Structure 1
C-alpha cells in the first residue's frame, strides 16, 4: 500500500510552503497540490485503486467548494475508503474542530501553516504509522 499526499488550498503561497515543509521533513517527496476541491475529486476518482491511500491536507475555507462540501462529495462518490483527511485551517474557531470530528474520514485537525515538527508528529498517527515505518 502506498500513500499519496495531496494538498488542497486556494492560496498558492500556502501550497508552496506546505510542499517545501513536506520535502524538508521527509514526509513526502512528491506531494500534489490543487487549488480547489473539484480538481482534487477528479484526480482521486481517476487514480483510486486498492493499493493507494490518499492523504489529503484540506483547507476548509475555500470558494466554490469548501472543505466540508468536499468531504460530503467524497462520501457521495464513494471515495472515503481511499482517503484520510487532515483538516488544515487558520481558523481558531472551536466549532470547526468540533465539526471536523463529525467526519469519519478526518484523522486530525491541523493549524496553518504546517511546519516540520507537526509533520513529524503526524507520522505517529495510528493511520499513518504503517506508511512511515523503516
Structure 2
C-alpha cells in the first residue's frame, strides 16, 4: 500500500478540522496532511506547495461554506491553475441543498459530494480510489 500520498483539508470549523485530521492521522495512510481554514488561504498555500514540491496533494477535502473564499471561489481559481492534475476533490458539507450538489457536479475535478461527518471507512475508501 502506497503511504506516500498527501491529503489536504480545507475547513473553517476548527473542531471539525481537528477531528478529521486526527481521524486521518489514525489511519496512517497519508505521509502528509495539509490544512487550511478558507479557500483563499488554501489556494495560496497549495500554489506555494506546488512551487516548492512540484506537486499537489493527491486528495482534497473541501468544505463549501467558508469565510473569505468559499468552495466555489477556490474551485474557480484552482481549476485554472491545475490542468492535468490527477488528484481527487471531495466536497464535504453539512448542506442538504440540492443546488450545492448540482453545482459541485459542474466541476470536473470534484469526484464526490460527502455529507459531514466523513467516516473513518470513507477516508479509507477515498485513499484506495486514488
Shorter-chain TM-score: what band?
A: 0.7 to 0.9
Q: What is the CA–CA distance in structure 2 between the aligned matches of 1:121 and 1:93, rounded to whole Å?
A: 24
1:102 is matched with which residue? 106
Instruction: Point out the more displaced range, 115-124 or 78-87.
Output: 78-87
Q: Counterparts in 2 of 1:118-133, with a 5 A limit?
A: 118-125=122-129, 128=130
Structure 1 contact 53–84 (Cα < 8 Å) conserved: no
TM-score of the superposed pair, with normalisation by structure 1: 0.81
Instruction: Point out the more displaced range, 45-54 or 85-94.
Output: 45-54
Matched residue SS, 1:110: strand
Q: What is the CA–CA distance in structure 1 between the aligned matches of 2:37 and 2:45, rounded to whole Å?
A: 12
2:77 is matched with which residue? 73
Q: What is the CA–CA distance in structure 1 between the aligned matches of 2:99 and 2:8, rounded to whole Å?
A: 25
Is the counterpart of residue 93 in structure 1 residue 63 in structure 2? no
Structure 2 contact 6–33 (Cα < 8 Å) conserved: yes
Kindly state the Cα deviation for residue 123 of structure 1 after the two structures are TM-superposed.
Answer: 2.5
Unmatched tracts of structure 2, length 5 or more: none
Displacement over 2 Å in runs of 4+: 25-30, 49-53, 79-84
Alpha-carbon RMSD: 2.2
TM-score of the superposed pair, with normalisation by structure 2: 0.83
